[in-house]
Chains A and B, each alone.
Chain A
Amino acid sequence: MISTLGRFSLALAFGLALYGVVVSVLGARRRRPSLVESGRGAVYAVFGLASFAVLLMEAALVGRDFSVQYVARNGSLGTPLFYTIIALWGALEGSILLWIWILALMTLLAVVIEGGRSREAIPYVTAVLLSIQVFFLFLATFPANPFTPLFPPPADGRGPNPLLQNHPLMAIHPPCLYAGYVGWSVPYAFAMAALISGRLGEDWIRTVRRWSIVAWGFLTIGIILGGWWSYAVLGWGGYWAWDPVENASFLPWLTGTAFLHTVMVQERRKMLKVWNLALIITTFSLTIFGTFLTRSGILSSVHAFSESTIGPLFLAFIALILLVSFGLLVYRSDGLKAEGDLESLVSRESAFLMNNLLLLGFAFAVFLGTLFPLLSEAVRGVKVSVGEPFFNTVNVPIGLVLIFLMGVGPLIAWRRASLESLRRTFTIPLILAFLGTGVSSFLGVRGLYPLLAFAAAVFAATTVIQEFVRGARTRRRITGEGYLAALSNLTRRGRRRYGGLIVHLGVVLVAIGITASTVFRQEKEVTLARGESLHLGRYQVRFDELSAWQEPHRFVVQGTFTVLNSARKVAEMRPSKRFYRSEQQPIGTVDVRSTPREDLYLILSSFAQDGSSATLKMLIRPLVMWIWIGGAVMALGALVAIWPDRRRVLAAEAAKERVAWQPGRS
């Protein structure tokens, strides 16, 4: 019954989405508000149907309804409730359903929030968003239907992939990441609307930027959570392996960040209009490309959903998007000429252009590295691997310059920066950067790249702090308020600027975390008999005992280890190996003890059957927590940046009123 209802609601949604596209376009071209209204109704209906489908699927999963093939494959009687609920996005068909629902939600929000402000553009925005929805609904209705029935229904399901049952992070990482991916559909829709209608003004920039920051924020959180998942769940001691799907999520983040910077140049100087539109199109295309990579089977990856036939469909969709979008852009390019000029290499415009250059260069390196195995096979017939050594060698220098530039960009003057202004702004940060390098060297950092990394980080951090301090000091001089009040008012008045600075601070924290955890990493692997200890750094880890027990869905073997620091007990840690019915190899579960200073990471590599000995691999990685904290700071900065400013809203509305009322006009 659920299967039938589900298939029906998806098919209906598909039809309604198609209808919505047609009716919105017609309504816009023929200026018939009734048609546009009908399109809006389609948006509501699609959201309602998508929500209904999601609820149906959850009902099937929780109810262990194995007559639905998806439930039989991804649920089981023994799977705990929590993991059963989140199995919704555990496999291909369900993940498409999630995408559909988030897209429907964003379409609804876009139409409702922006409907009043962008009256001319909204029909086209609706049409574009519903067109994207049509594609995904087509996938869900035909080749990848989550409600495909299974007859006869089996007695028990297979259960989700054990890797997806090991950690509660699985509940937030995919939805956040998808919100980040799908979020970019909205700026894209507005970009297309602008190109179709030929109108590209200040309002448009504000709207597009707001939605871009939202998408960017979710994407950032999604990527950072992915790193955390890799670290805590996959259990190999690292948080980023340059796996194709990790790279695929990183690519739109890079181009999206580039866009968020040059859109400021467009706003100030009315330049780079074509460039920014191209960036939005590219970012959106890369989000679709990312999901294509996971589902096409052309690259092997940790994330690969099972190979399926929808790969070619995705490729065709991407080709269509690129063709139509860039075609439109070229067609309209004559009307998008720059109204300003680049006047100097030492200016904020140039700094932002260099930021773009490096971000896109970074993205290009990642893109090329990810696809190079395929290219090599096509050209030479030889399979090669492109992994961490390559990406680190190519990307680290680019990243270093980017961090340095991050300190320069927000502070350097527009148009042309005089030598005097440069001296005033950057002397202290540069000096502190030198000192920072000295300190790091004293603390044991060796090697050019790590030292440069700390120098750039200190430089960028100092510029941010300097901005806040100087701003607060100026306010205090005028208003006489306390430091805290000055800082808070400063931020409130200039949310975009100071939100951006907070994001930069977050990036610095992440960079420091990555550098320190790599440079100061220690590891050791030893086989221990009961009572023996492993020595690493200041710690001694004693193997106490091995215990084993059966759970409904798995068999667990756990080692208990006591961590001591010069005979003082620090912690008891319990890495384990979990044996699932459906898996050939056990899934290792690591135990991590995180403090702001360092992470202690224990992996149970192997054990003797009788529990007499265990092989333990231990890692000490300093400052890993800074990476997660930095990610949170970045998200916070994004939140600050888009928080609606009561004053500006009132001013804008007042301005509109003034314009709306003019003597003598009817």
Chain B
Amino acid sequence: MHRMLLHLLILCVAWLWSPSPAIAVTVEDQTSSLAAELRCPVCQNLSVADSPSEMANQMRDLVREKLKNGESPDQIRAYFVSRYGEWILLAPKRQGFNWVAWLLPFGAILAGAGAIGWVVGRGTARRRSRQKEALPPLDPRYAGRLEAELEEWGR
């Protein structure tokens, strides 16, 4: 039973690690992924990929055309930023002050984890010291006898 499970486990892990087939990156895929990063200027919080508005349609067409002309995603992003400002990107560029947004949540969680670890450590230490105190002092009459009897018995 256990061996079968082990084999099953190995099979699963092997499957997971197998390289996936190369995905053809079409212009359409690239357009979609770039459009998902751009904010639709006339909608509320929607990406150009999701928005059904006409402006978003036009922007998608423009992105597709630029990709076909050979422009790189970075260039296309820079183009939109030069026209609309940083606001057109749906996630803040990872630079300068924007790092606050990207890193602070994880920093806070790590700090919190540290705090929990510290509190647990304190609790564990307190428990251990309580246990040590709780042990009654060893009766001198029996102090050495237990050891001696165990040794004899062992022989």
Q: Is A63 close to B, CB under 8 A? A: no
* Complex contact B127–A302 (CB within 8 A): no
* Complex contact B50–A237 (CB within 8 A): yes
Contact-residue size bin, chain A (C-beta under 8 Å from the other chain): 35 or more
**Contact pick for B102, options A235, A394, A605, CB 8 Å:** A394
B119 to chain A: which residues have CB within 8 Å? Answer: 342
The answer for the CA separation of A238 and B44 in the assembled complex, in Å, is: 13
The answer for the CA separation of A176 and B127 in the assembled complex, in Å, is: 47
The answer for the CA separation of A302 and B52 in the assembled complex, in Å, is: 15
B47 to chain A: which residues have CB within 8 Å? Answer: 387-388
* Complex contact A389–B37 (CB within 8 A): yes
* Complex contact A386–B101 (CB within 8 A): yes
Interface residues of A in 242-261 (CB under 8 A from B): 242-244
* Complex contact A606–B54 (CB within 8 A): yes
Instruction: Tell me how far the C-beta of A28 lies from the nearest C-beta in chain B, rounded to whole angstroms.
Output: 36
* Complex contact B52–A354 (CB within 8 A): no
* Complex contact A300–B12 (CB within 8 A): no
Contact A617 B52, CB 8 Å, known A387-B39, A398-B109, A438-B16: yes
Spot the interface stretch: A13-21, A107-115, A318-326, A372-380. A372-380
How many contacts A-B (CB < 8 Å)? 148
Spot the interface stretch: B71-79, B85-93, B136-144, B147-155. B85-93
B102 to chain A: which residues have CB within 8 Å? Answer: 390, 393-394
Question: Using a CB–CB distance below 8 Å, which chain A residues touch chain B?
Answer: 235-238, 241-244, 300-302, 341-345, 350, 353-354, 357-358, 360-361, 364-365, 368-369, 372, 375-376, 379-380, 382-390, 393-394, 398, 431, 434-435, 437-438, 441-442, 446, 451, 585, 588, 603, 605-606, 617
**Contact pick for B120, options A342, A368, A435, CB 8 Å:** A342
* Complex contact A385–B120 (CB within 8 A): no
Q: Is B105 close to A, CB under 8 A? A: yes
* Complex contact B105–A385 (CB within 8 A): no
The answer for the CA separation of A343 and B116 in the assembled complex, in Å, is: 11
* Complex contact A386–B91 (CB within 8 A): yes
Interface CB pairs A-B, < 8 A, 23: A238-B50, A301-B44, A302-B45, A341-B126, A341-B127, A343-B120, A343-B127, A353-B116, A361-B108, A365-B105, A368-B104, A372-B101, A382-B86, A385-B39, A387-B47, A387-B91, A388-B36, A390-B102, A431-B5, A438-B16, A441-B15, A441-B16, A446-B20
Q: Is B67 close to A, CB under 8 A? A: no
The answer for the CA separation of A375 and B90 in the assembled complex, in Å, is: 16
* Complex contact A385–B16 (CB within 8 A): no
Contact A389 B91, CB 8 Å, known A236-B46, A435-B12, A588-B52: yes
